[in-house]
Structure 1
Amino acid sequence: MTRARPARHEGIRKAQRRGALLLGSALLGLLAGTPAMAAQPVPGGQAPTLAQSGETYGFSIAAQPLASALRAFSEQSGIQVAYGTEDLAGLSGPAVSGRLDAAEALRRLLAGSGVTWRFTDPHTVVLARAASDAAVTLGPVVVEGSGETADGPVAGYVARRSATGTKTDTPLIETPQSVSVVGSEQIRRQQSQTIGEALRFTPGILASQGFNRTDDGLYMRGFQINDSSLYVNGLRSLSNIYDGTTDPYQLERIEVLHGPASVLYGQSSPGGVVNMVTKLPTIDPLHEIEAQLGNDDRKQVATDHGGALDEAGQFSYRLTALVRDSGTMVDYIDDDKAFVAPAFTWRPDEDTALTLLATYSQSSTDYYYGFPAEGTVVDNPNGRIARNRFLGEPDFNKWERSSYSAGYRFEHRFDERFELRQNLRYAEFENNYNDIYFGSWLADERSVTRGAYSRNDQSSLFALDTQLQAELTTGPLEHTALLGIDYNRTTFQRVQYNGTVAPLDLYDPVYGASVTLASAPGTDSYQQGDQVGLYAQDQIALGSWRLLLGGRQDWANDRTDNHVTGSSAETDQSAFTGRVGLVYLFDFGLAPYVSYAESFEPQSGTDAGGGAFDPTTGQQVEAGLKFQPKGADSSVTLSFYHLTRQNVLTSDPDNAGFSVQTGEIRSRGVELEAKLALAEGLNLLAGYAYTDAEVTESNSGDLGTRPENTPEHMASLWADYAFQDGPLQGLRLGGGVRYVGDTVDLSATTTVPAYTVADAMVSYETGPWRLGINATNLFDKEYIAACTYGCFYGEGRTVIGSVALRW
């Protein structure tokens, strides 16, 4: 099949065999006296075949251990690198960036290291210590370089491959739907502290609230992205949206599939899914420790380690951990967190790999409940409510959450055609949560009534996905066929005690009011949901054409036990979803595409006749252009979509207090995402989203209104420049602006004004050290980021200084 198929593993045995072939060709070259393998070391590295071709690559390689730097070189150029492990022991490589040919990039990486290199062919290079002979002293051989993989690092800003859009390792340019990828390098440069921050320069995505430390909720294409649309390593990550947040430091990449995705993932929002890929074990030694200090008394230490555990490379590991002690822009709300994420891989042979993954996390913060519209986006005679105002009681409010997960990734290739993969995760979550919320204004328009509650949430999640992939040929057609079955079980138990508390003056608060809780719980419920999905997909290649066909059948069962009333309710729902897409690949890197995709989400509750509701459904038609110019570290995606969600609950006109499923929401728009290497060391990220979303059918009085938290226009721009030589070499300067148009609240009666904020960064890399300062909302603009049931301020100016050591 013409589709590029990078190595699935980093198995050292396979590397040794390929290395032996390289050594064999080198030895034969020596005996035959061929010029491609001259016997003597080549000072500075000579590569006539490759260097004279004039082909250049966009390199963005950080200062790091030389073995890791060479791996990045290989991923960014597609050139295989063979070397002896002892030859690189203890060596570091400098930062290398910009558009360079391979010879120049290698010269810079190896300068002063005592390592020489030579090409055995235009795309394979062999390294050795200058005092030894590469042909006979390589010893244990590592071969780096089969290009980027779907779950591996992203070189700089531009990803080439992803599995989120197809569940197979596929070039993004061949995926007939818009997919955005944010890699760990972008996260590091911008010092993103939440998933919402990591995606703030991705078009069409908006965090559910501005300032928020309790969940990773998002809005995309006019629809909310909740727990059923958030994934980690291709598996559902949460049972409930408040189960946890994922720290970006734990991740290798964040991938966003825009639009319906049920054909791959089952129940999910029509707006899309977000898949977070964690850092996985490496064979090359990798060690990093980073310390941060920032405003609001922020202190954080994070560390990341990986490498082989044995000489043969059968066993490798990754250990990522973080501890944070921090305040926030809101009085009495902390942002304390600690997590540890170990991973271990066993590769018994070149075709089999088993990776064990685990995470344990604890966090302490408070829920930010927001404020009334009056005093934020609507005038109040007493002025604007202070951005740092705390609505609750310091001695009562809390948000103490803990979670752990464990699972595995297994893959086995039977032969060149068939591969089996299975992913599993089990997780448990617990949250002890005390909160105080506002009610209505008192006559003075300074004080609000308040209510309180205390609750305990306990959740669990079991997710299993088994896939069989086949590479087949039928006549002129080449197929990547996928058959899969997945299963999810979620449980959620809540016990909540409601209470009362005195009003609070939001303009001159006096804390210390006592909270009186009821003696019996107002909520005591247990929910269990089960979903089974069978899916099939075929990616067909015919010359420059790529056709994708997919279908899936789901069965979902949900049961709720109400221990307060003694009642139970159970629903059984099923849905079939489909997908079809077509791409044409031009030789110069342009790929027009068109696709149709569907989604579904189960609905709880019953109608006036006692009948269970059907799932909501989503249908999207998308067309666009993807452009990845040959030899350039750039990509552009332009997409046009028309998306409709049906079976939406709306008021029953004949039975007060009940709902019927005749509602509909339509969203259509344009999204543009560009990641460009404009010159050596100069990068540009640009994004724009136009979203025309409207309630098109409703009995609830909101017909013709715009859905909440959906701006009509969003735009962003980020640029950074790394000095390439001279006294400023190693210095990187960057900055960006973000514009979000006006939005409306849940009732579509309050408008949130548009806002624009600016960010900036400066960093300096020398040897294994990196120092940086990042500022978000540089000019400390005070703005409301969103209004739903309440209105939420956006994050104030955040300044973080960091120092990192890699070895």
Structure 2
Amino acid sequence: MKPLLSICICLLLSAQCFAQTGKLKGIVVDNAKSGLPGVNVMIKNTSAGSQTNESGYFEISNINDGDFVLSISSVGFKTKEVRFTIAQNEVDLQTITLYAGDEILREVVIEGERENKFSRSKTAYVSKLPLRDSENTQVYSTITNYLLKSQIITNFDDALKNATGVENLWTSTGRGGDGAGYFSLRGFAIQPKLVNGLPGLTNGTINPANIERIEVLKGPSATLFGNAVSSYGGLINVVTKKPYVGTGGELSYTTGSFGLNQITGDFNTALNKEKNLYFRLNTSYATERSFQDAGFRKSFFVAPSLSYKVNNNLSFSFYGEITQAEQTNPMFLFLNRSAPTDARNIKDLNYNNKLSFTSNDLTLQNPTQNYRVEMDYKLSDTWESQTLISKSATSTKGYYSYLFDYGILGNDTYSRFLNKQNEYTGTSDIQQNFIGDFRLGSLRNRVVIGLDYFSATSTSNGTGYAFYGNVTPEGGANGDNPFTPDEVETTAYPLSTAAVDAVLATQPVSNAKSKFNIYSAYASDVLNLTNNLSVMLGLRLDHFDNVGDVATAADDYNQTTLSPKFGILYQPVIDKVSIFANYQNGFTNVAPALVGNPEDGPQTIKTFRPEQANQIEFGIKTNIIKNRLNATISYYDIRVKDQVISDPASPFNKIQGGEIYSKGFEIELNANPANGLNIRAGYSNNDSKTTRSDNTEILNRRPLDAGSKHTYNAWANYEVPGGKLQGFGIGAGFNGASERFAINYASTGNFMLPAYTVANASLFYQAENYRIGVKLNNAFNKEYYKGWSTIAPQTPRALIANITYSF
């Protein structure tokens, strides 16, 4: 009996040791902000509760960890429900207002006060379900608004330097169809194409003034989002600022090196007496010059948004972003992809990177509009309906030019070609989601079932490209056209609109229009087998209808594919440690091809399956020491198959046999080791190779869009939490990458861009209503380059100052 009694006592003591409980507190007031006594405060589906005292204060202790709903009720006032989460912490709901017949705009979701300001533990966009990161089998990075403010971010490319494994390949050129720049992630090129989980396109850069956070999903993500907005490496989702209950806002002015001037505004208020209709406006005007001898960008941005809560079951939201931008397109040096260049690296090139090889007369305009409407309706206690509609329109008008080394003239001579752009892309998307959280027996199911229709239309009415002289990287120039037999030594190619228009007058004008539609259905279920063990199952049915050139029926085709997803997650310590593994899928639609020997008669059309990418990944996530340490470590293996290649047995046939693999590991850390100190760090290692292809130029070589093998980033921010120096702070960090291929072909050899590490630092003072800060980018004036079969010099040392007033 003694051993048995000892075991029982140990079990009881263990249960007490591992029991995870917290405390809830708050103050209930009326519309006049007076404390309400005697208000009933109950945690639904439990026996825990309390009543407010004479000041309206309440406190509930010994609450087990988990998600709960607090019901606040009193005679003469409308009952209010507030969701909150306990995770071994003290949750302060602060002030809760009860209205006599009024309702607040939306439910308030409280997760306790988080000191770790560089991470976010919960989002509804990543999985289309409100899952915590510790419950999600997919890896993603979140760049918070606090991190953007601490680094005084003024452009989108700089913001993404905080995402582990993301490397800039090609900044936005402004050219039609190019989008908002290209980035490398897990060995593949990606672009930011999602806004609040819906398609949102642009031909220019994304304005950071309206960004609440940026979410970077890792790995193929077609099951929930389709292939139009994602790549095999992942996807980028921009979450915008939204209306909130109350009145307030801020004004901000930023100035800095190279003619940077930016003013931004943010204003939020109720539009009616009932305070169930709220309006928010974010706006920005910015101008900036290039560090080179020519080049600039200016933009005006406005983002209105509305939230309307009809009742406790029905609400509507509207979001818009309107941008008017004008810029000179950045001039990359395009390396020859089929013949060796004279130079093998930057040193050999003798590049004067202060030269822009353009003028401020030759500009591009990039007007962009994105609109979204959302309707949320609570069908029952376990199901809700979400209807989403988005429209986007982006255009490019003006002059685009590029420099290309054709390898004909030698001596690293780059020929300039230019045209006049007149491009348009418009998209429409309609989604209907049904989201459930229910139990089947003892098994909890969190389910999303959705339908999606996506349509994209593009028109092109630009001119053809015309030769417009040559340049050399050190600044030489001549007029010898590489495609004519006569040698012409002239430099009469002035970079003015009049001279360029005269040359382009002889070029044909395009009149093309293309379109495609995608019809999809998808479902995903997070099934809790136990409190510690869950699985995620997802499937998408996708039908692609390519209209192609609307005036040509021959290029029409359609394809249907299934995209599955599976994940398993085990939490040895709930909400603290998660061990996960996943299988994720992506795909690319493949156009039919003509096959057959022409000498044997007419060729025939051969259709193909969509190209497939499959990822296997496993790793661990931690959220420990009272949310002060968040870490994710993962290993992934992505295999791309079914690429269309020439049949080795017949040069007149095509087969699906091309393959690429990409594997590696990532480490991301967000820490709050002491009050006021926040640290973010990341490291990524990637190994990519084309393992099977009919193109011997790339076979067994690292793809150019794979970027650098090693990338890393870190940023630490310390704000004095108390005392005479309270509010003063300092920030410092760095980001960098190993050397990378700008060119990597069998016949051309390699052109390597050197490794780099760039350091940054900031000083600031944060008061109750204002913030003053200065930031030094590229503190040691490092000369470095990026590119994707191109060479693009990056900005040297720059000083930025900011003042922000909040109200």
TM-score bracket, normalised by the shorter chain, equals 0.7 to 0.9
Partners of 1:20 and 1:680 lie apart in 2 by 31
Write the letter of the residue equivalent to 1:386: N
Residue 289 of structure 2 aligns to a residue in which SS?
A: coil
Q: 1:200 aligns to what SS in structure 2? A: helix
The equivalent residue for 2:806 is 806
Residue from 677, 681, 684 that aligns with 1:686? 681
Residue 599 of structure 2: aligned partner: none
Structure 1 counterpart of 2:210: 250
Question: Superposition pairs for residues 605-620 of structure 1, below 5 Å?
Answer: 606-608=593-595, 609-620=604-615
- Secondary structure of 1:727's counterpart equals coil
- Identify if the C-alpha distance between structure 1 residues 780 and 652 changes in structure 2 by more than 3 Å, giving closer, same or farther: farther
Of the candidates 424, 431, 451, which is equivalent to residue 417 of structure 2? 451
Of the three residues 504, 507, 531, the one matched with 2:474 is 507
Q: 1:736, 1:751 → 2: CA distance?
A: 26
Counterpart check, 1:262 vs 2:222: yes
Partners of 1:759 and 1:659 in 2: CA distance: 51
Letter in 2 for 1:205: V
CA–CA distance in structure 2, aligned partners of residues 520 and 744 of structure 1: 35
Are residues 1:769 and 2:735 paired?
A: no
2:571 paired residue number: 585
Q: Report the equivalent of 1:427.
A: 392
Q: How does 1:707-746 map to 2 (within 5 A)?
A: 707-709=703-705, 710-746=707-743
2:566–2:582 contact (8 Å) kept in structure 1: yes
Residues 655, 461 of structure 1: CA spacing in aligned structure 2 closer, same or farther, 3 A cutoff?
A: farther
Question: Is the CA contact 1:164–1:257 (under 8 Å) kept in the aligned structure 2?
Answer: no
Cα RMSD of the aligned pairs, angstroms, is: 3.8
CA contact (8 A) 1:495 1:523 kept: yes
2:482 maps to which residue?
Answer: none
Match of 1:208, SS state, is strand
Measured against aligned partners, the alpha-carbon deviations of 1:630-668 in whole angstroms (never above 9, x if no partner) come to 523331111111111122244565777996532111011
1:188 aligned counterpart, secondary structure: helix
Partner-residue secondary structure (3-state), 1:469: strand
Residue 597 of structure 2 is aligned to residue 600 of structure 1: no
Residue of structure 2 in register with 1:648 after alignment: 643
Once the two structures are superposed, residues 302-328 of structure 1 have per-residue CA deviations (whole angstroms, 9 ceiling, x without a partner) of 011113223322100110110011112
Counterpart residue number, 1:392:
358
Mapped contact 2:671–2:680 kept (Cα < 8 A) = yes
Alpha-carbon distance change, 767 to 173 in structure 1, aligned in 2, over 3 angstroms: same
Amino acid aligned to 2:761:
A
Q: CA 1:365–1:572 in 2, change beyond 3 Å: closer, same or farther?
A: same
The 5 A counterparts of 1:134-153 are 145-147=108-110
SS at match of 1:610: strand
Matches within 5 A, 1:654-693: 660-693=655-688
Q: Tell whether the 8 Å contact from 2:543 to 2:559 is kept in structure 1 after alignment.
A: yes
- In the other structure, the counterpart of 2:512 is 525
State the partner residue of 1:114: none
Deviations 1:682-736 (A, max 9, x none): 1111101111111111111111111114211111221111112233211110111
Q: Distance in 2 between matches of 1:170 and 1:386?
A: 50
Report the 3-state secondary structure (helix = DSSP H, G, I; strand = E; otherwise coil) of the residue aligned with 1:528.
strand
d(CA) in 1 for partners of 2:30 and 2:683?
Answer: 43
**In 2, Cα distance between the equivalents of 1:296 and 1:355?**
39
Contact 1:598 1:619 in 2 (8 A): yes
Alpha-carbon distance, 1:625 to partner: 0.4
TM-score (norm. length: structure 2): 0.80
Q: Does the 8 Å CA contact 1:489/1:529 hold for their aligned counterparts?
A: yes
Q: Deviations over 1:340-375 (max 9, x none)?
A: 010111111012110112221111112223125669
- My pick for the range that moved more, 737-746 or 666-675, is 737-746
Are residue 349 (structure 1) and residue 311 (structure 2) matched? yes
Query: Which of 561, 570, 579 lines up with 2:549 in the alignment?
Result: 561
How many angstroms apart in 1 are the aligned matches of 2:89 and 2:445? 35
The one-letter amino acid paired with 2:560 is: S
Structure 1: gaps spanning 5 or more residues? 1-12, 28-33, 56-74, 84-99, 103-121, 129-134
1:180-579 matched pairs, under 5 angstroms? 180-209=141-170, 215-226=180-191, 230-238=193-201, 243-267=203-227, 268-371=230-333, 378=345, 384-395=350-361, 397-440=362-405, 445=411, 447-498=413-464, 499-508=466-475, 512=494, 514-515=499-500, 516-517=503-504, 519-521=506-508, 523-541=510-528, 542-561=530-549, 568-579=554-565
8 Å Cα contact 2:215/2:238 also seen in 1: yes
One-letter amino acid matched to 1:243: N
Work out which of the residue numbers 135, 138, 144 in structure 2 matches 1:174.
Answer: 135
Q: Rate the CA distance shift 1:539–1:139 in 2: closer, same or farther, 3 A.
A: closer
Pair 1:600–1:41, CA change in 2 (3 A): closer
Task: Please name the residue that 1:61 is paired with.
Answer: none
Task: Write the distance in 2 (CA, Å) between the matches of 1:143 and 1:272.
Answer: 32
The percent identity for this pair of structures is 21
Cα 1:125/1:737, change in 2 over 3 Å: closer
The 2-side partners of 1:522 and 1:144 are apart by: 55
Using the alignment, how far apart are the partners of 1:766 and 1:681 within structure 2? 14
Which moved further from structure 2: 318-327 or 510-519? 510-519
Shift in Å at residue 587 of structure 1?
2.6
Give the aligned residue type for 1:681.
G
1:614 alignment partner, SS class:
coil
Provide closer, same or farther for how the CA distance between residues 154 and 274 of structure 1 changes in structure 2, counting only shifts above 3 A.
Answer: farther
Change (3 A) 1:577 1:743: same
Shift of 1:35: 11
State the alpha-carbon separation in 2 of the partners of residues 288 and 153 from structure 1: 22
Aligned twin of 1:626: 621
Task: Give the aligned partner of residue 90 of structure 1.
Answer: none
The verdict on how the C-alpha distance between 1:607 and 1:284 changes in structure 2, with shifts beyond 3 A counting, is farther
Q: Distance in 1 between matches of 2:682 and 2:92?
A: 35
- Give the partner amino acid of 1:756: T
Aligned match of 2:21: none
Q: 1:131 is matched with which residue?
A: none
Report the number of matched residues. 710
Q: Deviations over 1:170-206 (max 9, x none)?
A: 1111000101111111111112233332121221111
User: Measured at CA, do residues 522 and 222 of structure 1 come closer, stay the same or move farther in structure 2, by a change above 3 Å?
Assistant: farther
Q: Hey, what's the Cα distance between the residues in 2 that align with 1:478 and 1:736?
A: 43
Aligned to 1:162: 123
- Output the CA distance in 1 between the equivalents of 2:380 and 2:548: 46
CA contact (8 A) 1:410 1:421 kept: yes
Distance 1:733 1:519, change over 3 A: same
